[in-house]
Structure 1
Amino acid sequence: MAQTFAWCHALGELRSEERLRLAPLGWSESPVSTLDLASRLSGLMADLRNEEIEPDEVASIAGNRQSMESAAIWQTLAAADRRARDYMHEAGLEVPSLLSRSISAGAPKYRSVVLLGVTELPKSMRRLLLHPDISVHSIVHAPAVDESYFDSFGCPRPDRWAHRPIDIDDEVIVAAQDHRCQAMETLRFIGDRADLFSIDEYTVGLGDLTVHRTIQRFLEGAGVPTHSAYGRSLATARPLLLLRALAEYASSEDSDALAALLRHPDAEYLLDRHASGPSLLTLLDFHRAKHLPRRIDAAISYACKEKKELEALVRTARRLVGSVSQSVTDVRIAADNIARLLLAAYGAADHSSIAREYTEALQTELKALASVLQRLSMLPAALAEYAPIRGSDIIRWLTRMASRIPIPETYKGPSVELVNWFELSSDDAPVKIITGMNNGSVPEMPAYDPLLSESLRSALGLPGTEVRYARDAHALSAICASTPNLRIVWGKTSVDGSALAPSRLLFAVDDKTLVTRANQAFTSHDSIPPSIPVLFPSAATSVLVMPRPSVPEPPITHLRVTAFKDYIACKYRFYLRHVLGLQALDDEARELDGAGFGSLLHTVIGEFARSDRLTSVEPNAVVKELYQRLDSLVKATYGAERSIYLEQQLRHIRIRLMRYAEFHCKRSLDGWRTKEEWIEVDAEKDLVVDDIPFRIQGRIDRIEYRDDTNEYAILDLKTSDRRTEPEESHRQGPRNAKVWTDLQLPLYRQIAPIPSGSSIKVGYILLDGAEDRPPLAIADWTDADYASALDRAEEIIRGVRAGVFWPPSMVVPTWDDDLSSICMDRSPYRQALIARAPSIWR
């Protein structure tokens, strides 16, 4: 860490264009980016010095064999490296790689050194071991006849292993379709030997770390205890995730960051306990879904029911992040501020309700994080005094650094070990499974720094991919020779579905075997197929049920017009939505949904109806009034700071309002008139069914009257991009046997405040954005059609009164809505679940 900050100071002395030359593509001048770059470059210098190479030497070779630009980059690096070393010396510290050279020149601490299974040694370490007073003994996992395949330190020789065949039985190798199938094969191989070996006699070697968690979950899910040598990254620790949430809110103060902070399980220990918790989070989610705020201020500028609670929350959150949002010039102060935040969150927290294993894990995470913060707080002043940096930036950098810090798993008794695959060569387990045996993972491709091209590495004499191949070839040979029960699994596709090839180590065989194995790998379809993993024995009955509805008490006596469509589509969904009132809350809303988009447009038109422009026949005047009403409504509902998504939708609404203005004026010129009480009309009327009145309610968008023909028109406004005529949306089926799927317009005709016996037309105003088509669409229905619609409405009313909400429709939506899970839409056993559904909701 000290070297990283020494490099930060050195980089700060470079010109901007010089820093940019050293940085990766897309790099920006920010504190976190500079820390990342410093960490990377200090690591690069350490790697070079481990091989006893100085950056000046690289610059010289780059000038001779590479481009002048490459030479200039390394000259800049050499100068920055000298300054970084100066900063280390001023702080009283020594560069570790230089320290090893001074040690090699003095008397050795140890006279005898044993190298056990060492596969790679840098030149600096070899220099130490070549000291005349040190006796080196190398122990290698290989037969004595293979001594020539290793150097004097026991490291595999790349020139010898490059062409050596590896003896692998074909029966040992299995291809799996994907990462889940690799996990299933691992589980199957263990299960087939369950009677022969105890649980701690199995070891799984991971060639591809991306399948690590999948395999562990499958084994644990099947009741097989596991212990992973990898543990997990400190970056996933709860305390660090809390710090990240605080840092994000400190930087942006936007509503998404506030919601993310509230969702952290430990946030309640930092925020006011009376102002936090699920209820406040729900309030925030409802607020975000309705008002779509980019950020929420301590003084909310628009009207909302949650104003008092949310303003208090914002004030508390801002006080909380104040210490990490301010800039400091000493990173030790930032580290202390972060430590105080953690102490506030966890120091006095009551964890008695948390399971013991989680409490122990939390303590381990806090200790690991405290160790990192302690290293920061103990930096010498010469390094810690840095350019102004915020605590939130330090947290971001800690998060990136923490991804490389493992938290070991707690040992819980005998279990299947999960280790890096090449560690299996020194493992004495009689049963071993290697997974992820794919090219690119085995042999692993080293992550060389882009400043050191392959040709430059070769010119410098740095080890290349051949060293890694030799290491892995030796490891696989040793595993195959020493494991009586071995399975090697390679995947045909990666976790993200990309095609994979088997490891080239599997083809390190004689020519005859090579042809057979390649043919089997690339043409055979005999692989573990994708499957649904069944990790537990089947129960006698399913615990997944679709509860039958109960008859509401008292019976339903009224419905909105739009609810009839839902009953026709699915009685059960109608029950869930209109009787129980179930609805989803979209806590990730970035823009208005379809209903919200239409509702905003309807509200604007309703406001327009109360203006003196209602009778105008000038489109420009009408559209100006509509725009003014829209702007006022948007400001009152969504505030002044709005997201780019909402602004884009508002542009589409303005286009539709312009079309509405043109339609409104044309209808007036054609002799149709309307008035304030005929725009956005809340209408209701009793429909007498079986001598009992039933109230029908609805909001009619527009009613018009034409004096010369004594006609009325009831028009419903449609704002969807998809243009649907009234006939298509209301009736389906063959020409002579159409059935009603929606009763909206016929029921509007029934409840509208229009004198009985009047001539009434119904239709749509289609504001779909298609400017080349007229917006008016009138339904061509006869009196008989309207009569059949009323008959269908009466049938529905009888069913609703009687509590007939079962069974669900066998036709399910092609998309997942908020009720799909309850209705088991995607279950292959849906019909059986419906047949045996219990009545448990009372």
Structure 2
Amino acid sequence: MFDPIDGLRVFTVRAGADFAATLKDGLATRMQGMDPFARAGVTIRLNTRRAQRVLEERMARDARFAGPMPQIGGAESLLSLPDLPHAVDPLRRKLHVARLIGGLIAQEPGLAPRGALFDLAERLLDLLDTLQAQGVSPDRLDLLNLDDVSAHWQISARFMRLMWTLWPQILHEAEPGHADPEVARMAQIAALEEAWAVEPPAHPLILAGSTGSRPWMRRLMCAVARLPQGAVILPGYDADLPEDLWQKTDPPALPADHPQSGLALAGHALGVDVATLPQWFGGRDSDARSRLISLALRPAPVTDSWLAEAPERSVEVQQATTGISLIEAPAEREEATAIACAMRDAVEQGKSVALITPDRDLSRRVSAALDRWRLIPDDSAGRPLHLTPPGVMLRMLLNMVGTVPQPAALIALLKHPLVGGASEARRLHLRRVIGLQTGRDVLATPEADWQRIIGWAEDRKNDDDATTWACWLQDCFAPLSALSDTDTPEDILTTLRMVADRLSRGVADDVPEVWREEAGLAAVTLLDRLQGAVDAMAGLAMADTVRLVEDELIAAQVRRAAFLPHPDVLILGALEARMTRADITILGGLNEGVWPERPAPDPWLSRKMRSELGLPMPERDTGLAAHDFQNAINAPEVIITRAARAGGAPTVASRWVIRLTNLIAGLGDDGKAALKSMSHRGDRFLDIARALEKPEAEMRPAPRPMPAPPVAARPHELPVTGVEVLIRDPYATYARYVLGLRALDLPGREADDRERGNVLHKVMERFAPDLNGAEGAAAHALFARTATEVLDKLVPWPATRALWHARLMRVAPVLVEREIARQVDARPAKTEVKGRRQLPAPPFTLTAKADRIDLAQDGTLRIYDYKSGSPPSPKQIRTYALQLPLQAEIARAGGFEEIDAADVSRLEYIGMGAGAKVQPVDEDQDATRDAWDRFAELIAAYENTQRGYPARQQPALLSYASDYDHLSRLGEWDDGDDAALQEVGQ
């Protein structure tokens, strides 16, 4: 196939060319006249599985390859010689390193949190691979100058020196017959070089598609390129870059973030001048597009060439940008929808389309938008396992390891589509879960109370098997809750799988759905892989094991689609896009931090330390990403997209987009017109996206509601606490007492303000009667003891209990002294006492529950109300907060249980917050009677059918929130809008 040459046989393929087509055409030309046996011996090695599949498909459709096909495989398949160390399993390797780092964290707790154990291990392994690939010996670490660095870097350098020295021995003892990946590859390549020096392959061997970004790949390239029938094909060569920038210096002159820096480094390693290498197929002629892009991406020190070449580029700028569209969407959602519209448009035209982006969030949004038309893209990255139903279920179970499930988490898990069995069993399971969720007080506990749940099931009518179901639930979660640090990682993994399996089978013991289809099989494979490495997990705590499983779930991908994807709709990563060319190429997510990505921080070596060791800087990854961008944007028809805002914050366009648009805009009137045309073509898809999401009919905002039900349907009984609600937000009264709607309590018991108020009420409810004349230290000790006992009993959250106790004890002296003063001439009579009083006309009942009523020595009553926050102000008491004045009128009428009618000599709000403020209320009979009369007038006003219940009539604050705001469609109207009367219930 190849004529003999002196030196290495290396070819290039220009940036923007269809690499697979160019490779195929070059092969067809060189294989003409070869006999079938020789054709079958041609071997091609590519760097990705997708590249292999694309080339196979192209050849299968080409008549020139009728008969025996060349052998196509991966580059690493060459490195499979027997009797050599194999690369250690990555998971086991990470676990061995994590154990060493765990020891370091134990000795230096300030270095990093334990939760970062596996992240640190992965970063250290990346660094170890780089050190081995660059041939840096452990002794070089001793030469690092650590005088002017922080203690963190000094500790990490000492640890790396020790670890790097001992690591070969540790790995050999832990994994006999295995080596680090870089060491194993280099050993394989060295063996290949020796074997090929004695007997080189007789068949042609072509290594194609790699830029040689890794040292082992560059060494393999050298070995293949010097074979008598070997060849290396480099992708994405910029033929328009001036030759003086391709200097064969050491290191190459091109900066690391330039698109061609990777090829320059590969050429330097191969000992060839990239600028003089022959093309694999076709000539070296470039077009207007490639010349424009090459100029835009010139290294920063030579951007003065923009001015020198501007006249020449301005002549052809229209031609260069004809196939480029620019979409600058306002936000991420609009960007994804516009991309989906462009892909749908391509399908309708019968064209293939490929979205190239490193942003997985963007690709998922686009996939969701394409689902509108049932278009399933062929996504090269697959689906993240942790976002599939089995992955979500496993992550929810991981959060319950070693703990009793919290009610909210329990309900969420029980509603998961893979829990409860199949068909009818699943439907019955869901009915029971909904009943459990809506059952009052069943889940009003910080943790699931199984006895309470079983008791609820026993009382459930028309469901005889509910108790069996509740007991089954308890049995499912008991092994998971019982796990602790004394259990081994193998026990934890076995229990996790067992619980997932049992929950998926349901109480009817159906076939478990969790392990079915592609995602379920991927979950099984992951768990098998983890269980196969349990011997390397020795010493891991339960929290470490849980974190490891979650990290592996997040990293895993489900490669195959659940449904057959559309063959012409592709979503590709930058690496896969090298070998794939579609009719329309979309470059998505072109913002700084996305494409190119921000360099990952190195927790082990600073930039200065990396430089002293001769290690590549993070900018090299930017150069590789720039190479992929240059290759993709030179496609015939390209759409560039970005979002102006992401996560609610402004974004910065990718440096490559900024360079390109600045260059075009600076090429005179022709350049400005070209840039405007690019944006105009992109705006077409934005307009389609906006039209697509625009409602068919105009959305009219709802008016501010004021429903007016019939008088007979209106409430004829209210608690005193509901009077203020009736004044401030009548709509809430309508929804609660007319419609009978009550907000469901969320599962679980939260340490919120309501819970704190209940606790403070209970403390005073117990303390006040027990005081019984005690004074001084005895009274203070009684209060402290009472507070501790109540908090211990009612507050199950240790941190919250300590915080509330500290707050309460800060105001305890004031509360105790005031209580002593109150009981000088009065004694507590009743707490939490119920009362009621009737209005004669219209017939209406006012109910109350007084926090506390004291009986004074003069026979009068004193009514107190405890407030965990600030008591209402005097103005609020006169206008809205009528609670205590109305309770006074009930007491005067003898409406409280076991309390005789008597005059009221004191009304008082007792604040128990930080200020312990006390707010007295005018207890004069005229004042309380006035409040009662105003209440009667308010009730009488609602006897008029033309009087409705407006929403948020007089809210205390603009931030006032009601349980019924969503029902009144707040947001479609404002507080200043007029309420519209609506007769309802006729």
Same topology, TM > 0.5:
yes
Contact 1:62/1:70, CA 8 A, preserved across alignment: no
Per the alignment, in what secondary structure is the counterpart of residue 682 of structure 1?
strand
TM-score (norm 2): 0.66
Which residue matches 1:479? 632
Is the alpha carbon distance of 1:299 and 1:336 closer, same or farther for their aligned partners in structure 2, counting shifts above 3 Å? closer
Task: Give the corresponding residue for 1:500.
Answer: 651
2:18 equivalent in structure 1: none
Q: 1:365 aligns with which of 519, 539, 543?
A: 519
Query: How is 1:245-264 mapped onto 2 (pairs within 5 angstroms)?
Result: 245-253=396-404, 255=406, 262=414, 264=416
SS where residue 689 of structure 1 aligns?
coil
Q: CA 1:261–1:46 in 2, change beyond 3 Å: closer, same or farther?
A: same
Q: CA RMSD in A?
A: 5.4
Partner Cα distance (1:15, 1:406) in 2: 28
Residue 747 (1) aligns with residue 886 (2)? yes
Quote the offset at 1:368 in angstroms. Answer: 1.0
Structure 1 residues 297 and 435: alpha-carbon distance in aligned structure 2, compared to 1, 3 A threshold: same
Aligned to 1:715: 863
Structure 2 unmatched runs, 5+: 1-87, 249-259, 269-274, 276-296, 307-316, 460-466, 895-899
Kindly state the Cα deviation for residue 135 of structure 1 after the two structures are TM-superposed.
0.8
Q: Aligned runs of 1:344-363 on 2, under 5 Å?
A: 344-346=502-504, 363=517
* Corresponding residue number in structure 2 for 1:490: 642
Match of residue 264 from structure 2:
157
Q: Secondary structure at the residue paired with 2:865?
A: strand
Residue in structure 1 matching 2:111, options 4, 25, 37: 25
- Measured at CA, do residues 207 and 12 of structure 1 come closer, stay the same or move farther in structure 2, by a change above 3 Å? closer
Structure 1 residue aligned with 2:287: none
TM-score (norm 1): 0.76
Map 1:143-542 onto structure 2 (within 5 A): 156-157=263-264, 163=299, 169=321, 172-183=325-336, 185-186=338-339, 197-198=349-350, 201-220=352-371, 226-253=377-404, 255=406, 262=414, 264-268=416-420, 277-279=432-434, 282=437, 286=441, 289=444, 291=445, 293=446, 316-317=475-476, 319-321=478-480, 325=484, 327=486, 338-346=496-504, 363-378=517-532, 384=535, 386-389=537-540, 393-408=544-559, 409-410=561-562, 411-413=564-566, 416-420=569-573, 426-447=579-600, 449-484=602-637, 486-495=638-647, 497-508=648-659, 535-540=692-697
- Deviation string 1:78-123 (CA, Å, 9 cap, x unpaired) is 2232123313552x43444333233322336975444444334312
Change (3 A) 1:122 1:806: same
Secondary structure of the residue that 2:834 maps to in structure 1? strand
Q: Which moved more, 1:720-729 or 1:365-374?
A: 720-729
List per-residue Cα deviations over 1:407-454 (Å, max 9, x = no partner). 234344367533335755654334333232122333334436433443
Letter in 2 for 1:827: E
> Take 1:284 and 1:249, find their aligned partners in 2: how far apart are those partners?
23
| Closer/same/farther in 2, CA of residues 608 and 553 from structure 1, 3 Å limit | farther
Of residues 145, 149, 166 in structure 2, which corresponds to 1:80?
166
CA-CA distance at 1:189 after TM superposition: 5.5
Work out the CA distance in 1 between the residues paired with 2:147 and 2:717: 87
1:231–1:406 Cα contact (<8 Å) kept: yes
> Which residue of the partner structure matches residue 911 of structure 2?
767
Structure 2: distance between partners of 1:531 and 1:649: 56
Q: What whole-Å deviation, never above 9, does each CA across 1:589-638 have from its counterpart, x for those lacking one? A: 531423x4333333444445654x45x27365555545555555445545
Deviation at 1:697, TM superposition (A): 1.2
Structure 1's unaligned 5+ residue stretches are 732-740
Residue 643 (structure 1) aligned with residue 798 (structure 2): yes
User: Measured at CA, do residues 814 and 5 of structure 1 come closer, stay the same or move farther in structure 2, by a change above 3 Å?
Assistant: same
Return the match for 1:681 from 833, 858, 862.
833
In 2, the alpha carbon distance for the partners of 1:509 and 1:414 equals: 32
C-alpha change, 1:8 and 1:636, in structure 2 (3 Å) is: closer
Deviation at 1:777, TM superposition (A): 1.7
1:284-305: CA deviations, max 9, x gaps?
994564x5x4x567789xxx98
Report the CA distance shift for 1:347/1:24 in structure 2 as closer, same or farther (over 3 A): farther
2:818 is aligned with 1:818: no
d(CA) in 2 for partners of 1:368, 1:516: 53
The number of equivalent residue pairs is: 794
For 1:442 and 1:703, the matched residues in 2 are separated by 70
Could you tell me whether the CA contact under 8 Å between 2:707 and 2:982 is conserved in 1? yes
Query: Structure 2 vs 1, CA of residues 748 and 95 (structure 1 numbering), >3 Å: closer, same or farther?
Result: closer
SS of the residue corresponding to residue 641 of structure 2 reads: strand
1:6 and 1:88 in contact (8 A); partners too: no
1:46 aligns with 2:200: no
Distance 1:315 1:500 in 2: 49
Q: Indicate whether 1:591 and 2:714 are aligned.
A: no
Code of the aligned partner of 1:319: A
Deviation at 1:799, TM superposition (A): 2.5
Counterpart secondary structure, 1:663: helix
Aligned to 2:187: 102
Sort the Cα spacing of 1:607 and 1:78 in 2 relative to 1 into closer, same or farther, 3 A.
closer
Structure 2 CA distance for partners of 1:665 and 1:452, relative to 1, 3 Å: closer
SS of structure 2 residue aligned to 1:203: strand
Q: 1:798 to 1:7 in 2, by over 3 A?
A: closer
Confirm whether residue 724 of structure 1 aligns to residue 872 of structure 2: yes
The match for 2:819 among 659, 664, 686 is 664
- Residues 5, 253 of structure 1: CA spacing in aligned structure 2 closer, same or farther, 3 A cutoff? same
Alignment match, 1:569: 728
AA paired with 2:138?
D
Shift in CA distance, 242/80, structure 1 to aligned 2, threshold 3 Å: farther
Residue 574 (structure 1) shift:
0.6
Structure 1 position 661, deviation (Å)? 3.5
TM-superposed CA distance for 1:397, in Å, is: 0.7
Q: Distance in 2 between matches of 1:771 and 1:98?
A: 69
Write the deviation string for residues 260-317 of structure 1: whole angstroms up to 9, x where unpaired: 655655454699998995257527994564x5x4x567789xxx98999899688525
Partner of 2:552, secondary structure, is helix
CA distance 1:548–1:417, shift in 2 (3 Å): farther
Q: How far apart are residue 696 of structure 1 and its match?
A: 1.7
Task: Decide which moves more: 784-793 or 308-317.
Answer: 308-317
Query: Any conservation in 1 of the 2:357–2:574 contact (CA below 8 Å)?
Result: yes
Q: Distance in 1 between matches of 2:441 and 2:89?
A: 47
Measured in 2, the distance between the counterparts of 1:340 and 1:130 equals: 52
Q: Structure 1 residues 7, 506: CA separation in 2 closer, same or farther (over 3 Å shift)?
A: closer
- What CA distance in whole angstroms lies between the structure 1 residues aligned with 2:416 and 2:661? 57
The code of the aligned residue for 1:695 comes to T
State the alpha-carbon separation in 1 of the partners of residues 661 and 788 from structure 2.
Answer: 78
Between the aligned partners of 1:564 and 1:337, the Cα distance in structure 2 is: 54
Question: Cα gap change, 1:426/1:45 in structure 2, threshold over 3 Å: closer, same or farther?
Answer: same
Partner in structure 2 of residue 130 of structure 1:
222
- Aligned letter for 1:820? D
| Contact map agreement 1:218 1:535 (CA 8 A) in 2 | no
Residues 487 and 535 of structure 1, relative CA distance in 2, 3 Å threshold: same
2:89 is aligned to: 2
Which residue of 2 is the match for residue 737 of structure 1?
Answer: none
For the residue of structure 2 that corresponds to 1:721, the secondary structure is coil
Alignment match of 2:926 (pick from 783, 791, 809): 783
Shift of 1:480: 3.3
